[in-house]
Structure 1
């Protein structure tokens, strides 16, 4: 895991963390201070507190506040098959290898550390059920899901999820592994019994042991370097030899190559190395006749030793006799030039190696005639259009005890790296010779520059580690944003429901007011018109949109409103409905009428009244 830059410690925050540890047993001192301080500050802002000491006082006074704080710090962002590409690689490449290494009756042990609400653990159950079949998976696979958040574990144990939580699953997987219960979907019971959930703190609790697979995704990034190192030690102990470690996309094992080998850096999958390195031995069985004499057996052993030396030589070697027949080709030669055991005994000239990468037959003849080894350096062998191999080839004549040449050996030494370096050096030397005098005078400056370059490399390595830490921090922030987005989605849904209810209530109220034959006028605290129903329009001839928000007592219509000023004010002050007031008015048709007006306070708010106006008698012109 890459280390994060040094973080300055806030003494007040450290005191708060120590208090939480001592009071509730939650030790957050191993968490990264930047993200931890941000989450604590968020909770403090929610309760309107700015100082750590004041917030500690609140924690001491309210046990319930601990739960709110823990839910804020422990970001439970997870989903089924999160980062689908990584899960696909696990399912296609890792699981088959894991199953092939385990006996058909042996239990398979899997640990999902930091499982949150259980989606990851159940994803593992689905993966193994797909590979083994549901019945065998339920018989052999044990999956342990652990977390420090009890509330999240309660949700995980229920195995019940919303339809939205299962969006990552295909319809076939959802139908096969989940049973609908009302608006929720419950993971199938036979497999759910094989997923065991429990509280576990990976920073201090003893790890689960003898694991074939350990999954801990996007959890380590919340911890500092020291805590990460301790956790990796526990994970190494938990895994059996060859067991796999599956991390999150923001986490890497950059400096633990001795204990873990990289299986896929892109997918963040690693394998626990064996505790020891087994030497690889090439053995050729002895087939000596027990009745043979000691000298015969010694000769056979020596000959066998010589054969082994040639066979296991690090460089490719072939032997050719005077008749041009291949006598021997060691393992390196067979592998490098595509030779087989059937090529031994064939004429050398019939093989491609005799003329490619260079003409060897003439070199062999020359070595025989001159009775000396012939060496050709930096022979190009083109492996592909863009890949060239360089070989140093040595042809050594082989002579018998009587001094006669009986054959030759051809050795091939791969000098690609060295030759490329030499070619580069040669090109550099030509350039250096051109500027030799100038470089002599600046030699000391180059040495200084070299030291600066080394320092820059070290700075770049440090910067790389800081960038990795920043990446982890960004991933943490992303999960916080995702958590906040989910909260906003929930709030938006609640607002939408309330808006719908308000629209329905408004429509209902308008319908009620419209259906009332009498005139109904609602005034606010400033005696402006808030509502003017259809009965009022029919009675006085003014439309509702004409009088909306207009001062009632400034309106010019057939009702003598000045006679109602005292009645309305009294109703506003006392909040008591008034007796009917009969007024002589003129309706929209221009006829004189007797109008009864009742003023009532609004039930839902004290500042406002409702005027009920009813035509009780039409008067004659003389009346």
Structure 2
């Protein structure tokens, strides 16, 4: 059953909006899960009064400040110190001692907190190591990198200032040991603060920090789709030292990645990088020196990135189309030498033989993704044919600059030959053992059923994992909304107290006035009837509240005042005192002087001042 056309149209418009945000602001949301991402964007659209994605895109184009509001809505910065205390206890008792024991005292223990939000997790890591090493040793041996894509959250993290409520999870001893009062806030202690470096970093696009002993990325992966999660985990594995630790959130898992990670503790989501797993290490990316590295030498950066990409024959071509690197395997395979470095790529025979590569390079740059050419055949005179899978990867820096391309030649000749031999052997076996075909068919059917069952179980497991991540995301959104409601409730309580105090004050003022004071609203209904009016006419305030003044039955003939009151209410002008013969609450005749004044302006009500004329 296909989705409704309006849903397809909405999805297409959402993708166009995400592409616009990526191209105009350099922020790539395309790897995020669509359900939660669409929900957060819709929430912001409702706030500013838009129903359709194209209309909201026009609003973004004309209002640059709206981008920051959108980012703050999408990036849910829910964090705290020692969040999920059982997991942190395991980290302190098992992981931290192991890292300290196996690291030379002369070397730094490098820690990366990816998706650190406003910094609580990075400072928690500093506290955990300081508790084990002591503060003096921690300031010498531990360096922590806190990264996030949210600049506003990073600015808060750099200050190291937090309200008392944020420190509630910390034991009293830790609060006094690691935080100092700073006005109404508390500041993280300076000596440890200098060992924590914060910087903007996009885990989906930017080069990872290298040689990391412990990488904490908690409740961040759950916002990305499966493809983005795979790429991020690959980058994390590249960043970690062999036997380094990866610390994830309770709603996150490493599914089918046993080639690169071993499980240290599944319950607390702690994994260890496998020795010898994954790709070769050697390229160094350091957050603190990132700008210097980019400015130092573009060609050296291309070379380092290309060498880190694959172990096979490989070329590096910079953005000007000049050969920047030729590794040893490529020299042997294609007869190249070090003299070819610096030459235009199109002058080399390998650029068009065994296949045209220049168009593939242009495609990789244009689409900013890897381009794969499979089963490419190369035949040299007098030699057997060779087969290659050719992969062209654009090389993107942490600033999003496209500095070149890496071309990798994966030799599949032996695999192709083996496939052909296997096919011939299968044909021979099929001929020789025709009587076993029925049995083979039955076994194949059973195998397919088992495979189908396994796939269904894997699908169910992934759906459960996705549901768990969605629930965790919803929980964080609810937590964020609850904090906003608590703030609003506190403001309303303060406002209510102020209004009560003001009302009590004005009631006291009116009660202290000896003359009768009556306040009428714009419809000339009684809103206030002070004590002087009660004593003069014998009517209580609760008897006349919101009653039509001219329908009240008391000793003052109100019809005489009708025209003056309406004129004052309509024009907003004051009317002088008018003497009227009346009868007080005791039935005694008196002459009452009545003055009429506007309450605020035309149509907003009047104030009547009633005094007994002492001369009467």
Indicate yes or no: 2:554 matched with 1:545: no
1:512 and 1:187 map into 2 onto residues whose CA distance is 51
Is the Cα contact below 8 Å between 1:597 and 1:612 reproduced in 2?
yes
Is the Cα contact below 8 Å between 1:533 and 1:544 reproduced in 2?
yes
Which residue of 1 is the match for residue 578 of structure 2? Answer: 581
Is the Cα contact below 8 Å between 1:595 and 1:617 reproduced in 2?
no
Which residue of 1 is the match for residue 477 of structure 2? Answer: 480
2:123 and 2:602 map into 1 onto residues whose CA distance is 53
Which residue of 2 is the match for residue 413 of structure 1? Answer: none
1:456 positional shift: 3.5
Which residue of 2 is the match for residue 234 of structure 1? Answer: 235
1:126-160 deviation line (CA, Å, top 9, x unaligned):
11110111111111110100000000000000000
1:481 and 1:18 map into 2 onto residues whose CA distance is 28
1:90 and 1:34 map into 2 onto residues whose CA distance is 33
Indicate yes or no: 2:90 matched with 1:89: yes
Is the Cα contact below 8 Å between 2:595 and 2:609 reproduced in 1?
yes
1:454 positional shift: 5.1
Which residue of 2 is the match for residue 165 of structure 1? Answer: 166
1:9-158 matches, cutoff 5 A: 10-158=11-159
Which residue of 2 is the match for residue 494 of structure 1? Answer: 491
1:285-316 deviation line (CA, Å, top 9, x unaligned):
xxxxxxxxxxxxxxxxxxxxxxxxxxxxxxxx
1:115 and 1:165 map into 2 onto residues whose CA distance is 15
Indicate yes or no: 2:468 matched with 1:471: yes
1:503 and 1:470 map into 2 onto residues whose CA distance is 48
1:546 positional shift: 1.1
2:563 and 2:450 map into 1 onto residues whose CA distance is 93
1:445 positional shift: 11
1:156 and 1:251 map into 2 onto residues whose CA distance is 24
Which residue of 2 is the match for residue 177 of structure 1? Answer: 178
Equivalent in 518, 523, 530 of residue 521 of structure 1? 518
1:588-603 matches, cutoff 5 A: 588-603=585-600
2:538 and 2:139 map into 1 onto residues whose CA distance is 79
1:170-319 matches, cutoff 5 A: 170-275=171-276
1:453 positional shift: 6.0
Number of positions where the alignment pairs a residue of Structure 1 with one of Structure 2: 447
1:191 positional shift: 0.7
1:509 and 1:73 map into 2 onto residues whose CA distance is 47
SS at match of 2:568: helix
1:582 and 1:86 map into 2 onto residues whose CA distance is 84
Is the Cα contact below 8 Å between 1:583 and 1:595 reproduced in 2?
yes
1:605 positional shift: 7.9
1:586 and 1:246 map into 2 onto residues whose CA distance is 87
SS at match of 2:561: helix
Q: Which runs of 4+ in 1 moved over 4 A?
A: 444-454
1:606 positional shift: 3.8
1:3-27 deviation line (CA, Å, top 9, x unaligned):
xxxx988111111011101111111
Is the Cα contact below 8 Å between 1:530 and 1:549 reproduced in 2?
yes
Indicate yes or no: 2:486 matched with 1:511: no
The two structures have a TM-score, normalised by structure 2, of 0.70
Query: Once superposed, what is the RMSD of the aligned Cα atoms?
Result: 2.0
Which residue of 2 is the match for residue 570 of structure 1? Answer: 567
Q: Tell which has more relative contact order, 1 or 2 (C-alpha 8 A, sep 6+).
A: 1
Is the Cα contact below 8 Å between 1:592 and 1:618 reproduced in 2?
no
1:478-536 deviation line (CA, Å, top 9, x unaligned):
11111111111111111111111111111111111111111111111221111111111
